Structure 1
């Protein structure tokens, strides 16, 4: 009994310590290399315990400016962001006081930016009637002091850039401009309506998830002064906001419906000029998961996941949608319209922001087709996952496609969400391969095969 009590007390102390862990707290390395049993690819698991890890969305950078650390979300310390060193596996807590929405890693400085609730958000009040702080974290000083064991108070590393007024309904989906002088973020429909021209017709919901209705909008905050300016209002619900991390003042965003949109991808400049569809899509095209991959290019998926003859599926008692939502093969509801079949070209599409030319880099021969997509900034590689949680690499010079890894469990809490490292040698994913419950994910780095890296071409892209 005494032994059990001792174990209980030690466990309770550990839980309390983790729950109150401070910024800079370090955790033991979990780094291990696992060989994919199907493809033989060596997978670098930077985390390997069931601690509720998830990577930053593929629309945003994953690595710090020095290329040494990946920042991610985790329940190791609930509500706080974590960093892991790619080479050593060292784990460090990089926020204190919580965060809201997207984590933004600067690419020209060792800084991290995110939003944080100023006060508790009441249930059902998400995205409106609240104020948010935008926080800047000095990662260079934080990592140095954490390694030296000389951590100071959180205020030493975290600076409040500014606070959003309640009335603009700021949301946590935000992006850091390439010039690192402005932060872009979503605003509420009431604020967006104030800036929408009176002759613009507001869009209604689209599709079975009852999302997409407008208006929506984007504002920006100056990192030095905290000044807030309006960027653009549009007649639909704004989804993912991302910046072109090579070109200051260039924004990419989406019309969010939870599935197929009438016109998914959009671009606008930071001063509100140049609003246009990034890729003008047809009714039969299901465009999704756009991600800026280089100075001039955006990757996106044109889905080919639906049968030509789509039959209405029966309702489940647990849903009010027009058809059952299948997590292993989503988007089958007929109310999405005629899109998503392979009667027209589908696959991993890449759009040039300057010439507006679109090309299909590749597509799987069966299954759902490529879903979440990305590419290397040097133009050599593209990468995509599919509904089976398999990962495919594409050589853009000769269109060769190779499955890098599979078996990451369709029961996982989320999808692989591949993102290239800026040097084009590695891809980060999130995986439930090691999870006993089939859901909890880990942070994984997948190297581009050495024989592919050694390839040379007489006419490079």
Structure 2
């Protein structure tokens, strides 16, 4: 009996310690380091520098808090919780408690964070984001975190329960099969999310031909759809259904109600980029592409513009004179993707104007994979991209000059750098394995726009 009581008490003690260690607002010491890029000489600021499973938010979404002081990122410092690092002091704060699923949304107009979580289960063991972006059906909550209150209380050490900082905006019906793609509207009143095939089929126009899987990864089949939740009232409304698999839902921060998304196949799509308004009208391709174009990694960069990569990573001799793929000609590049991704046609970092529909190639590397993940400054001065080698290139849109900013972030890294330009256009955030001993684990890194470029006038 004494052993049972002791075991019960000890287990309760461990549970208590676990809860304390996972508490929202918990602070971690600064890991900030300034490192000189050995090739370019650029001074890199690593805001994290230990192998703790860090990764930045995807480049389609905002990274900085509204006050410009904190960067939000994912980490294994506390399992399945979100962190923020103060760019000036380097201090790290845990900003969620209870887990999250999918995309993180940092508000631009107020100190808030929004994310999804499985309803009724604070830390989901059944629903996890993975490379195939598939989720089991369940009811999902959209949760808001009041970062202003949290940072203030964390600094004083007078933390309250998680419910004081976290608010459930609303819960989706399990029938919807809501997934982890989440995007906060430009007015920050609505959050858009993907729904499952069965639910999307109900809203698909009669007679619509469904698309099949495309490419060797066997992804892309439809239907799929987008719904929305009002983050103030919890009201849910439906936006649109399409006959293919939706991925990478994002919004235009400067144009409320404008949504950008993609046809997700895990590689080349028949028609990658799409846009629609929040009332379901205006559905169309952002950039109508051809079979020979490999379009990927679109990101809204300004009020009227979307940047994207038109890949030039495959060898021309991988296809015969008729344009038919030759099996085995491109090691690592399956012929099932079709006659796309070579430099027989224009490739590079492309910018599409959403109003005029005009497209311009801002720049391209001389060789190698070409630019891959892209971002840009809202003022129209810069665009930035990475390549397969994890090198970071900056382009001056006024002069078309391209500069290698940083390299050595290790092609063996657990993920790609995913460069994101800051709202003020003075710096770029990436995730990097430069400091990792295992050549895989990544850290949060800031690359400055060169001072001499910032001083340019046109």
State the match for 1:270 in structure 2: 278
Q: Is the 8 A contact 1:128 1:168 kept in 2?
A: no
Is 1:312 equivalent to 2:327 in the alignment? yes
**CA shift digits 1:36-67 (9 cap, x unpaired):** 00000000000000000000000000000111
2:186 matched to 1:171?
no
Asked if structure 2 preserves the Cα contact closer than 8 Å seen for 1:128 and 1:188, the reply is no
Residues 147-186 of structure 1 mapped to structure 2, 5 A cutoff: 147-186=155-194
Q: Tell me how far apart the structure 1 counterparts of residues 118 and 378 of structure 2 sit (CA, whole Å).
A: 34
**Do the aligned partners of residues 16 and 406 (structure 1) sit closer, same or farther apart at CA in structure 2, a change above 3 Å counting?**
farther
In structure 2, the gaps of 5 or more residues are 1-13, 319-325
Three-state SS of the structure 1 residue aligned to 2:116 is strand
Q: Deviations over 1:59-96 (max 9, x none)?
A: 00000011110000000001000000111101000000
Secondary structure class of the residue paired with 1:309: helix
Q: Deviations over 1:210-255 (max 9, x none)?
A: 0000000000001111111110000000010001011100000000
Q: In the alignment, which residue of structure 2 is the partner of 1:440?
A: 441
CA distances 1:266-291 after superposition (whole Å, capped 9, x unpaired):
00000000000000001110000000
1:127 Cα deviation (Å)? 2.2
**Cα separation, partners in 2 of 1:117 and 1:26, compared to 1, 3 Å:** same
Cα deviation, residue 312, structure 1: 2.5
Relative to structure 1, the CA distance from residue 374 to residue 124 in structure 2 (aligned partners, 3 Å threshold; closer, same or farther) is closer
Does residue 144 (structure 1) correspond to residue 152 (structure 2)? The answer is yes
Query: Which residue pairs with 2:392 in the alignment?
Result: 391
1:128 deviates by 3.5
Which residue of structure 1 aligns with residue 250 of structure 2? 242
Q: Where do 5+ consecutive residues of structure 1 fail to align? A: 1-12, 315-322, 327-331
Offset from partner CA, 1:304-338 (integer Å, 9 cap, x none)? 00001224239xxxxxxxx97x4xxxxx1100000
1:356-413 deviation line (CA, Å, top 9, x unaligned): 1100000000100000011110000010000000000000011101000001011100
Displacement of 1:199 in angstroms is 1.5
CA contact (8 A) 2:313 2:370 kept: yes
Alignment of 1:354-393 (within 5 A): 354-393=355-394
What is the CA–CA distance in structure 1 between the aligned matches of 2:363 and 2:21, rounded to whole Å? 47
Asked if residue 427 in structure 1 is aligned to residue 435 in structure 2, the reply is: no
Deviations 1:159-209 (A, max 9, x none): 000011111100011100010110000000000000001111000000000
State the match for 1:103 in structure 2.
104
Answer yes or no: is the 8 Å Cα contact 1:80–1:95 preserved in 2.
Answer: yes
1:233 and 1:136 map into 2 onto residues whose CA distance is: 27
Aligned length: 431
Aligned-pair CA distance for 1:147: 0.5
Kept in 1, the 8 Å contact 2:26–2:94? The answer is: yes
Matches within 5 A, 1:53-452: 53-118=54-119, 119=121, 120=124, 122=126, 127-310=135-318, 311-313=326-328, 326=332, 332-452=333-453
1:116–1:135 Cα contact (<8 Å) kept: yes
SS of aligned partner of 1:50:
coil
d(CA) in 2 for partners of 1:113, 1:99: 10
TM-score normalised by structure 2 residue count: 0.92
Asked if structure 1 preserves the Cα contact closer than 8 Å seen for 2:101 and 2:127, the reply is no
Classify the secondary structure of the residue corresponding to 1:367.
coil
Q: 1:65 to 1:122 in 2, by over 3 A?
A: closer
* Structure 1 pair 16–441 and aligned structure 2 pair: CA distance change class (3 A): farther
Q: CA RMSD in A?
A: 1.8
Once residues 364 and 17 of structure 2 are traced to their aligned partners in structure 1, the CA distance between those partners, rounded to angstroms, is 49
> What is the distance in 1 between the residues matched to 2:276 and 2:125?
31
Q: What does residue 317 of structure 1 align with?
A: none
SS of residue matched to 1:293: strand
* 1:425, distance to aligned residue in structure 2 (A): 0.1
